[in-house]
Amino acid sequence: MSEISLDLRDRRASFRGLEDRIFDLLVIGAGITGTGVARDAALRGLSVALVDANDFGSGTSSRSSKLIHGGLRYLAQGEVAVVREAATERRVLRRIAPHLTLTNPMVMPAQSKAGITSMRAAMWTFEKLAKVDKPERHEVWDRKRLQKEEPTIKADGLAGAVVYPEYVTDDGRLVLANAVSAVQAGARVATYAPVTEIILENGRVSGAVVQSSLPGDENGARIRARLVINAAGPWVDHLRLLEDDQAKNKLQLTKGIHLVFNHDRLPISRTVVMRTSDRRGAFIVPHGRFIYTGTTDTFYPEPEYWPEITREDVDYLLEPVNRTFNIEPITHDDIVSIWSGIRPLLGQEGKKPSEISRRDEAFDGPGGLISIAGGKLTSYRSMAERLVDSCEKKLGEKHVPSKTAEQKLPGGDFPGSFDELQTRVEKLGFEPEEARRVAQLYGGQVLDIFAGAKGPAVEAAYAVLHEGALTLEDYWVRRSARARFDDEGGLAALEPAAGAMADLLGWTEQETIRQIESCREKREFEMRAIKK
């Protein structure tokens, strides 16, 4: 049917495939960092194994703000290198995955003419660093123009705004596209395969042991590799302890949450930057029928897939929304869904969460385990390229240049513009908003997938047969994004999707009910902080 094909149903074959050779690289963790590294290395011809304790992107990488952005605010912190890399990478991602980098203008309101002048100075530096083309450069709106373009913004006391383009992605699908591409280039993968042991021979790391975490599945593998990369995001320090039980923590974890509302409650056309009560920047992003706002930044003690969301987190984000816009106040009752994620930042003593650098770093453990942490979704590709360059050297392999800046990601190849793709999808009988949703998620694959029928059952079957989904949550949260951007968190999609998956994955009726219940419980957990 399509170039994408990642069918992970045969668990025995997946685990066996991890044992039949000594790999050049074993990558632990299939978030954006791990899948980016696996793809880069596999495309250069290295043999690669990639494993994850859960699903692709189930850690931080499906819980970000979904912005492919240059990180203008980091300029004020003197992080020129971080900004240069992120700003430049936006352009690369737009080329290799146009469906996952949709233009998303940012409106930064300013209270005074002096405020506009200083924002413009920052913008000029940013545009120079990022080599931004003329049509993509910033504009300045006076108050009148701001009122005309975004009439819901309270314009009293504002001098105007600076507006510039950034991009919005679907982070879970960006990870998946990298995983699929890695497999197409020859990488072996297993999900729901946590590393339980790092193998050391004569004090040197030579592989890892994985054990299936799916109920009733006894599969496991002893994977051998010349280099082992720890890309476990917030769990990086946990993996380091498996190599060296004396290893000191390197990471400082911070949590960020996002709230989703219906777009008609706050009909903005562009992302708007707001000031929080403690003078941080927050934003509100239009996303089809919905809008979302984020994010918080607070220390969090331990990595978790479902970090706790508190009422303070929710109220902290509602306050600037209701202060910035001229609307009937948004309350807890308006919240459609919530998500929270953990940033795996490199620790910096004495700094506030939002002041900690977003730079990435790779470091070797005493037995040679290579850990990589920090960074941003936006710069994952160049971070992977740098890491694989250094792995080639360690392996003594001839340098093969990275191909990831040129080779399109799965779904990224389609004729014409994204808007034209959306129009073609509409001709299949989709409403414009729904056409946009599926065109963004599936890119160039979309017309094949929905040629016959549409809806959750079709999407879920495709997720199993071509996108490596093994649980209902894999489909609901990370393949379809319905958990975030659908009415009532996509609860109505669970039954038809589970029905389609049950046939393909051989679930009993009891197992099908368990899968549905597990998703419902997760939603209840996320919505617990809301007063009803």
Helix, strand or coil for residue 115? helix
Amino acid code (one letter) for 502:
A
Cβ proximity to ligand FAD: between 26 and 500 the closer is 26
State in angstroms the smallest separation of the CB of 214 from ligand FAD. Answer: 14
Helix, strand or coil for residue 137? coil
| Contact partners, residue 248, CB within 8 Å, separation at least 6 | none
Cβ proximity to ligand FAD: between 53 and 132 the closer is 53
Please list the residues that pair with 260 across neighbouring strands.
292, 337
Cβ proximity to ligand FAD: between 82 and 446 the closer is 82
Please list the residues that pair with 68 across neighbouring strands.
167
Rounded to the nearest 5°, which phi and psi values hold at 494? -60, -45
State in angstroms the smallest separation of the CB of 291 from ligand FAD. Answer: 15
Rounded to the nearest 5°, which phi and psi values hold at 487? -60, 135
State in angstroms the smallest separation of the CB of 43 from ligand FAD. Answer: 18
Cβ proximity to ligand FAD: between 272 and 449 the closer is 272
Rounded distance between C-alpha atoms, residue 226 and residue 163, angstroms: 49
Q: What Å distances lie between residue 174 and 32, 215, 410, 424, 442, CA to CA?
A: 8, 28, 9, 22, 10
Q: Kindly list the residues in this chain that would bind ligand FAD in the complex (CB under 6 A).
A: 28-34, 51-54, 58-61, 63-67, 69, 194-195, 231-235, 239, 256, 295, 341-344, 375-378
Cβ proximity to ligand FAD: between 64 and 512 the closer is 64
Tell how far CA 425 is from the center of its chain: 25
Rounded distance between C-alpha atoms, residue 452 and residue 465, angstroms: 16
State in angstroms the smallest separation of the CB of 57 from ligand FAD. Answer: 6
State in angstroms the smallest separation of the CB of 263 from ligand FAD. Answer: 19
Cβ proximity to ligand FAD: between 196 and 417 the closer is 196
Rounded to the nearest 5°, which phi and psi values hold at 453? -145, 170
State in angstroms the smallest separation of the CB of 236 from ligand FAD. Answer: 8
Cβ proximity to ligand FAD: between 91 and 430 the closer is 91
User: What six digits make up the tokens of 404?
Assistant: 């990831």
State in angstroms the smallest separation of the CB of 65 from ligand FAD. Answer: 3
Cβ proximity to ligand FAD: between 27 and 421 the closer is 27
State in angstroms the smallest separation of the CB of 380 from ligand FAD. Answer: 7
State in angstroms the smallest separation of the CB of 122 from ligand FAD. Answer: 18
Cβ proximity to ligand FAD: between 293 and 512 the closer is 293
Q: What Å distances lie between residue 264 and 105, 146, 489, CA to CA?
A: 19, 19, 17
If one counts every other C-beta atom within 10 angstroms of the C-beta of residue 264, the result is 9
State in angstroms the smallest separation of the CB of 386 from ligand FAD. Answer: 14
Cβ proximity to ligand FAD: between 44 and 258 the closer is 258
Instruction: For 381-441, give the DSSP string.
Output: HHHHHHHHHHHHHHHTPPP----TTTSPPTT---SS-HHHHHHHHHTTT--HHHHHHHHHH
Cis peptide before 103 (omega within 30 of 0): no
Helix, strand or coil for residue 147? helix
User: What six digits make up the tokens of 184?
Assistant: 């197409």
Rounded distance between C-alpha atoms, residue 444 and residue 96, angstroms: 12
Cβ proximity to ligand FAD: between 191 and 422 the closer is 191
Torsion, CA 222, CA 228, CA 234, CA 237, rounded to 10: 90
State in angstroms the smallest separation of the CB of 253 from ligand FAD. Answer: 9
